[in-house]
Amino acid sequence: MGRNVEKEIPRLLFDWYRTNRRDLPWRGTKDPYRTWVAEIMLQQTRVDTVIPYYERFLKRFPDVRALARAREDDVLKAWENLGYYSRARHLSEAARIVVERFGGSIPSTMEGLRALPGVGAYTAGAILSIAFGRPIAAVDGNVIRVIARLFGIEDSIARPGTRKKIGEIVRRLVPTEEPGHFNEALMDLGSGICTPRRPACPACPLSAACLALARGIQASLPARDKAAALPRREASVAVIRDGGGRVLLVKRPRRGLLGGLWRFPGAEGKEARALRSALKKQQGLDVVVGKEIFTVEHAYSHFSVTVHVFDCRLRAGTPQARPVPARWVATGGTARLALSKLERMILQRLKNPRDRARTLPRG
């Protein structure tokens, strides 16, 4: 594609964007905090899913100082079921850094933003272009798809060299005037027109310049390496009840999968012996592992798991606050705790009379 054609791309895109831009709650603001929260939430998450979370989150944490003051547990609770919980932990940690190191002002430089937990090149580019008007590229999945098709790039986008090439192209295209709108327009084009499947090429403002369309290969781009099958795992969890029928939950470590959320105590694998050993190690509890009540199937981004849920009886020991925090919770009284979708699925099954575990006495 010639440089003269490239120069026309921003104008064509802006003409389309003025009448087709999405009306989103984070649009129309220059507040870098709001842009930051929106961009973190939008990572690997659909816009329609994010909107209600974004609005509730800002009501609870209206500025960076409010977020910095909040307990991490409260931030995780506000994030509940939005997934990829490391994003929430990073937001909480970064807010404290902004207050302590930057006086409560979101950094306005690439270096300053990249120093914050959870802020990568894309998020920093989005904040700088949208909130600060800097002519910096923001390259997300939608933009990668648009550019790969527009410039007929047939190499796999999984390769670093391909992504670097696309980033260089976008940097050439970003105008000095309204760079934030340009980045948002590219995102909107990828989301609504240049979609992963069945792109609406006749409605695209850039169709005359699109090399993939000219070659008839738009449906096969962007190219990807063949995805490996998701590995399958098995795990077991214990439903332990006290004399009042409450169940025991423990808190996950801050780092790692679903860090900081509450869960049923458990172990890898489906063997009763491994579950009993894990409970002894985690909480110093001696339990009798009873019958398997049911199983739950769940898929994460990088693996799927079959969880075997066991009815267990506490024979000796008292749940300790250290090293793993634990508490007894009524199955209907978890509203204040941040739980994963998997835990809520298990709780829902336990509330169902057909699946409810029998409460066993201690001893």
CB atoms within 10 A of CB 88: 26
Could you give the 3-state DSSP secondary structure of residue 141? helix
269-308: burial string, b at 16+ Cβ within 10 Å, e else: ebebebbbebbeebbebebebbeebbebeeebeeeebebb
Q: Are strands 304-316 and 286-299 parallel, antiparallel or unpaired?
A: antiparallel
Active site residue 343: no
CB 347 within 8 A of CB 273: no
Q: In this structure, what DSSP letter does residue 332 have?
A: T
Give the E-state strand segments of 271-350 in sequence order. 286-299, 304-316, 326-329
Catalytic residue, chosen from 6, 8, 39, 292, is 39
CA distance 351 to 363: 25
Helix 47-60 × helix 32-42 angle, to 10° = 140
Q: In this structure, what DSSP letter does residue 296 have?
A: E
Sheet holding 326-329, edge to edge: 262-263, 247-251, 326-329
Catalytic residues: 39
